[in-house]
């Protein structure tokens, strides 16, 4: 195990009467404006709401805190013992009253009210599991049932299949869920906020219990011995690896066209659950479609030049492209390691923060991760402050907004919403030449793919897989139709070309980071914002800003096209970019915006199954 995890005490809630605890009414984080608190190492609770009022110094609210507060009823400022309970004077009136006890009870992660799988967050699942309303095994079975019912469904209402899942964990996933349930019982609560939560990972992440095809047919039986570093982190956190999601072959482009399940010479496409005639985006389109359609709890994709943020925008999800090096790439089939990174794709910002916590860490197999030393908070959930936008300055380059009518309308509304939340939005009319150069820098996938794939083949590929070079892959005929010539040109890149490219491209990335930092400093900005794309389409070179600087970006829904616009219901995301290792800042900004606007909608074509 690469990270230590501290177990937590019991979450059981004693019956205190309706005045103290009302089932199903636990308050959301947005109802508390306290400054973020730093949770303890491995702590499973969301700050600030679910840590405010902690009296036992374990960075969570439990029955022990509630018992102490009940004993202190009537205590006032100046009384002996006030200091020990003052943190739970939640209405700040200088006296511990029944209302404080009732408020504190809502901060225990426990809810024995009705539970619905559709649109359930990790927090919803934890509350229900802690209350005994559901279990990880039941959650896993229910998601497997949804995959079976919906992923390949075609009928009058569903003219095109989603095709979002390549394989499921089956019994191995159920066994992991049962182990999580047993650990919850033994520990009296979850080990982390991911404990027992079913997770879908893109099928370029190595998993020891499911093959890793990278969307390619001749690799469909690539059973690796080990998990990718990020998958290892998920399992350490108690997450259930539910399934592997489809992707554009080799994470190549935005179409999500793959050959894993096809005969040579043919391919399949992933559909968006909102508009089935449209692609789910790429390359992490399977993750995008499956999480949007509620076929899994939390998803993970990978991003070289937009492959997390495009499907997040198309499918109304939150996507985080972390600082390059925050999450190890070891065990993820590469496209271009100068830009590759894995990251979460989720239905809420809080889920993305919870997910990101599990996959950071220094990995000797990915030396770039050493740069994160001292730059990673104990928990990204500590930034989930509903007032995070207040007093901030967020800039945008006019040239990155584009002219699409839907995008412009939604972006203008986003500016107003950010302003209403206390941010100052700063328009930058002239794009500096250094930023233009950064946006114009090409992707590393052309010159790096062969070199980086050879390393993966040597270090990770199942020895029984016969196609062990890019040339052998081309010769297999198992490629997306029309791409053989592209792969052939990439196969022709010489070691000298690769070395030359890495020198110039590395310099361009470093210069890009300097240019963005200078822009932020010149205008006294906390972050930049821009549309992630247009409805079911990209916008200029916006997606290159993050990979061509190595800086993190968070993409969050900013609304949908109306019935009178070109593609009714199509989603568009707002992207926020900040300095390297500023994920916490960006998560806070995105959370505040999300809580104030709540733009995500669930796709109506994939409702709850019976008893879900």
Active site members: 202, 283, 307
Task: State the Cα angle at 476 between 475 and 478, rounded to 5°.
Answer: 125
**Start-end of H helices in 192-240:** 229-236
The token duo for 357 is 């916590």
Q: Of 131, 189, 172, whose CA–CA distance to 8 is shortest?
A: 189
CB atoms within 10 A of CB 12: 14
Determine contact, residues 55/65, Cβ cutoff 8 Å.
Answer: yes
The token duo for 363 is 């990995």
Q: Of 289, 286, 307, 308, whose CA–CA distance to 355 is shortest?
A: 308
Instruction: Kindly report the backbone phi and psi dihedral angles of residue 331, in degrees, each rounded to the nearest multiple of 5, phi listed first.
Output: 90, 10
Q: Of 327, 395, 394, whose CA–CA distance to 362 is shortest?
A: 327
Cis peptide bond upstream of 611, omega within 30? no
**Start-end of H helices in 378-537:** 405-420, 433-440, 445-459, 470-475, 484-491, 495-522
Cα distances from 461 to residues 204, 212, 222, 223, 338, in angstroms, run 12, 9, 6, 8, 21
The Cα–Cα gap between 605 and 551 comes to 36
- Those residues whose C-beta lies under 8 Å from the C-beta of residue 571, and which sit 6 or more positions away, are 274, 313, 314, 315, 316, 535, 557, 559, 560, 561, 599
Please give the biggest Cα pair distance in the chain.
82
The Cα–Cα gap between 302 and 286 comes to 11
Determine contact, residues 532/571, Cβ cutoff 8 Å.
Answer: no
The Cα–Cα gap between 453 and 450 comes to 5
Q: How many CA atoms lie within 13 A of 88 on its CB side?
A: 38
CB atoms within 10 A of CB 264: 12
Helix axes 170-187, 136-150, angle to 10 degrees: 160
The token duo for 503 is 């020198």
Q: Where are the beta strands (DSSP E) in 35-157?
A: none
Helix axes 405-420, 583-597, angle to 10 degrees: 100
Spell out the SS3 assignment of 223-234: CCCCCCHHHHHH
Q: Of 269, 263, 267, 305, whose CA–CA distance to 289 is shortest?
A: 269
SS3 247: coil
The Cα–Cα gap between 435 and 441 comes to 10
Dihedral of alpha carbons 279, 282, 288, 289, sign: positive
What DSSP state is assigned to residue 565?
S
**Start-end of H helices in 208-339:** 229-236, 285-292, 309-314
The Cα–Cα gap between 124 and 307 comes to 28
């Amino acid at each position: 195990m690469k990270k230590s995890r501290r177990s937590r005490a019991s979450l059981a809630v004693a019956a205190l009467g309706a005045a103290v605890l009302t089932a199903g009414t636990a308050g959301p984080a947005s109802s508390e404006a306290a400054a973020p608190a730093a949770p303890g190492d491995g702590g499973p609770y969301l700050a600030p709401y679910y840590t405010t009022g902690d009296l036992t110094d374990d960075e969570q609210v439990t029955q022990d805190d509630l018992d102490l507060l009940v004993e202190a009823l009537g205590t006032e400022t100046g009384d002996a013992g006030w200091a020990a309970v003052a943190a739970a004077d939640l209405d700040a009136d200088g006296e511990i009253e029944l209302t404080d006890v009732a408020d504190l009870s809502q901060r225990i992660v426990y809810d024995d009210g009705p539970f619905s799988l559709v649109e359930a967050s990790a927090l919803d699942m934890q509350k229900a599991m802690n209350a005994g309303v559901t279990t990880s095994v039941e959650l896993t079975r229910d998601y497997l049932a949804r995959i079976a019912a919906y992923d390949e469904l075609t009928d009058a209402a569903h003219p095109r299949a989603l095709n979002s899942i390549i394989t499921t964990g089956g019994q191995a996933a159920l066994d992991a869920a049962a182990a999580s349930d047993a650990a919850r019982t033994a520990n009296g609560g979850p080990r982390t906020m991911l404990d027992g939560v079913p997770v879908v990972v893109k099928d370029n992440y190595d998993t020891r219990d499911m093959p890793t095809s990278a969307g390619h047919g001749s690799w469909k039986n690539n059973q690796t011995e080990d998990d990718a570093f990020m998958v290892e982190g998920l399992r350490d956190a108690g997450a259930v690896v539910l399934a592997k999601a489809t992707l554009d072959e080799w994470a190549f482009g935005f179409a999500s066209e793959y050959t894993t399940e096809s005969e040579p010479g043919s391919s399949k496409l992933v559909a968006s659950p909102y508009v089935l005639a449209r692609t789910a985006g790429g390359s992490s389109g399977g993750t995008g479609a499956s999480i949007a359609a509620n076929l899994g709890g939390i998803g993970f994709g990978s991003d070289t030049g937009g492959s997390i943020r495009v499907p997040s925008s198309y499918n109304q999800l939150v996507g985080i492209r972390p600082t390059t090096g925050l999450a190890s790439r070891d065990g993820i089939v590469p496209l271009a390691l100068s830009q590759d990174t894995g990251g979460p794709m989720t239905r809420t910002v809080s889920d993305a923060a919870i997910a990101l916590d599990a996959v950071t860490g220094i990995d000797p197999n990915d030396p770039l991760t050493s740069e994160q030393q001292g730059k990673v908070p104990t928990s990204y959930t500590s930034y989930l402050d509903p007032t995070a936008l207040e007093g901030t300055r967020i800039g945008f380059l006019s040239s990155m907004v584009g002219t699409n009518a839907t995008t412009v309308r939604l972006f203008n509304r986003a500016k107003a919403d950010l302003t209403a939340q206390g941010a100052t939005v700063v328009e930058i009319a002239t794009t500096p030449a250094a930023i233009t150069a950064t946006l114009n820098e090409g992707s590393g996938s052309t010159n790096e793919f062969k070199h980086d794939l050879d390393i993966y083949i040597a270090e990770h590929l199942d020895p029984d897989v016969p196609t062990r070079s890019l040339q052998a892959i081309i010769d297999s005929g198992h490629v997306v139709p029309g791409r053989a010539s592209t792969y052939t040109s990439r196969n022709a890149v010489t070691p000298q070309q690769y070395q030359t490219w890495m020198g110039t491209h590395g310099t361009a990335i470093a210069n890009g980071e300097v240019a963005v930092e200078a822009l932020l400093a010149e205008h006294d900005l906390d972050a930049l914002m821009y549309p992630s794309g247009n409805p079911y389409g990209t916008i200029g070179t916006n997606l290159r800003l993050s990979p061509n600087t190595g800086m993190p970006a968070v993409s969050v829904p900013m609304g949908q096209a109306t019935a009178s616009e070109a593609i009714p219901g199509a989603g568009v995301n707002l992207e926020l970019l900040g300095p390297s290792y500023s994920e916490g800042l960006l998560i806070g900004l995105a959370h505040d915006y999300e809580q104030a606007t709540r733009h995500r909608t669930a796709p109506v074509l994939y409702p709850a199954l019976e008893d879900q």
